[in-house]
């Protein structure tokens, strides 16, 4: 299973993509991963605006807005001022850098019925068979991520248990990791300026191509 994301390309699409927009945005089909969860929100959030400012080779600013109704159902979504409605595969920009951070993102079908999973990577043969063993707690945070290559435990950034690298003191995912030809941390996230509900108002993402910052406005 390949989880390789091209962050700079996705951000360019976010700023420039012109999808067909109907006269009336439709929200009957909700994202498979609920948007409230994708955005790592806490408390009775009714609206947020994410202003995404990049310092990548092609710098730009993009804006996403989200409105929530009862049970945190997505009722409003705009991208750069255009209301887009909802669909099952809708992803926020933030989600592209935190989607490896919790069991309910990586294993949405089983995370509540189990506390562990094994992911095999036979496609990256080159004489090497990869196996990743995951364990998580009841909140969905990983407690153990072990990478084996030909049955030998591999260390990443000096850690044999990759889960020890995953979270900051507030439980937010600090890294985005891919398991391609080699394990690679492709993004590092910093969450700051937390409000009274513990929601960060500034999120900084470092990628191999540069850095971008999400400045978040939240209404309750």
- The pLDDT value given to residue 50: 97
| Model confidence, pTM | 0.84
User: In the chain, what are the domain boundaries?
Assistant: 1-101+189-220, 102-165
Tell me phi and psi for residue 71, to 5 degrees: 55, 25
- The pLDDT value given to residue 164: 97
- Cα separation, 186 vs 207, whole angstroms: 6
- How is residue 24 written in tokens? 């009336």
- Cα separation, 13 vs 164, whole angstroms: 33
Query: What 3-state DSSP class applies to 39?
Result: coil
Residue-by-residue pLDDT tens, the chain, 220 positions:
333 334 444 444 444 444 444 567 899 999 999 999 999 999 999 999 999 998 766 777 899 999 999 999 999 999 999 999 999 999 999 999 999 999 999 999 999 999 999 998 766 556 788 899 999 999 999 999 999 988 899 999 999 999 999 999 999 999 999 887 778 899 999 999 999 999 999 999 998 888 899 999 999 9
- Cα separation, 144 vs 47, whole angstroms: 34
The secondary structure of residue 101, as a DSSP letter, is: S
Q: How far is CA 93 from CA 64, 211, 217, in A?
A: 8, 14, 15
């Amino acid at each position: 299973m390949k989880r390789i994301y091209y962050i700079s390309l996705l951000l360019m699409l976010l700023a420039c993509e012109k999808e067909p927009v109907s006269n009336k945005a439709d929200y009957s089909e909700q994202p498979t991963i609920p948007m409230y969860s994708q955005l790592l929100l806490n408390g009775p959030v009714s609206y947020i605006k994410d202003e995404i400012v990049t310092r990548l080779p092609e710098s730009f600013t993009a804006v996403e807005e989200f409105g929530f109704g009862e049970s945190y159902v997505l009722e409003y979504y705009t991208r750069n001022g255009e209301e887009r409605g909802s669909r099952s595969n809708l992803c926020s920009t933030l989600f592209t850098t935190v989607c490896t951070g919790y069991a309910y993102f990586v294993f949405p079908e089983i995370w509540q019925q189990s506390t562990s999973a094994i992911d095999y990577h036979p496609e990256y043969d080159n004489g090497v068979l990869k196996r990743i063993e995951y364990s998580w707690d009841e909140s969905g945070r990983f407690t153990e991520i072990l990478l084996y290559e030909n049955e030998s435990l591999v260390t990443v950034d000096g850690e044999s248990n990759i889960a020890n690298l995953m979270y900051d003191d507030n439980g937010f995912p600090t890294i985005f990791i891919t398991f391609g030809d080699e394990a690679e941390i492709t993004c590092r996230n910093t969450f700051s300026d937390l409000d009274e509900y513990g929601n960060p108002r500034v999120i900084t993402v470092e990628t191999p191509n540069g850095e971008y910052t999400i400045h978040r406005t939240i209404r309750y």
